[in-house]
Amino acid sequence: MAEAIYKPNSDLELDGKLMISVGGQLIAFGTSAKLTVNTDMLDTTNMMSGDWKDEAPGTKSFAVTSEALLTRKTETTSAESLLHSQLTDAQLDFVFGEFNRTGDETAGYSYPLDTTKTSYTGKIRITSMELTGETTKLKKYTMSANGCGPLTEVPAVPAG
């Protein structure tokens, strides 16, 4: 097997932003987005395993987390709308993927999903909302949600 060659300036993914969309809208003014996928392992160790533990894959689960700045902008996915979803036990559609900025400062920006990159979709239920005020004027929040059902991988579509 040939040794891999790494070129940091050309091999790293530097374009686009990994972001979370809920109900078709990006989490407004997000500062981080995280998707965690877990597989519970079933212990299948038995007397024939020798001195080694054996495992088989079991139930899969996923969770998403986002930190964002508080906004008064209405009709967005904001702390207020996410907290309302948690209080009403709503199940929400989400997408985790790479979004690219288009537009300019004067007209404003939009962030379409980059379909040339793999993304992930499913349903989530908000499990935790943490609102934070600090000595700076910025107010922040952290949202955590667990997946409900399967996480679906959406393959990249070649540009063309």
The CATH number assigned to the domain holding 141 equals 2.40.30
pLDDT at 149: 96
CA distance 35 to 84: 22
pLDDT at 109: 87
Domain membership flag for residue 111: yes
Domain membership flag for residue 62: yes
Judged by phi (left if over 0) then psi (alpha if -120 to 50, else beta), residue 108 lies in left
Q: How many domains does the chain have?
A: 1
pLDDT at 160: 75
Q: Tell me the CA distances in angstroms from 121 to 19, 62, 107, 139, 157, one per residue in order.
A: 12, 11, 30, 29, 15
Domain membership flag for residue 87: yes
Q: Provide the whole-model pTM.
A: 0.87
Per-residue pLDDT of the chain (160 residues; tens, 9 = 90+): 889 888 877 777 777 789 999 999 999 999 999 999 999 999 999 999 999 999 999 999 999 999 999 988 778 899 999 999 999 999 999 999 999 999 998 888 899 999 999 999 999 999 999 999 887 788 999 999 999 999 999 999 988 7
Domain membership flag for residue 46: no
pLDDT at 6: 85
Helix residue spans in the chain (DSSP H)? 8-11, 79-87
Domain membership flag for residue 85: yes
Domain membership flag for residue 139: yes
Domain membership flag for residue 7: no
Domain membership flag for residue 116: yes
Domain housing 107 = 16-40+56-154
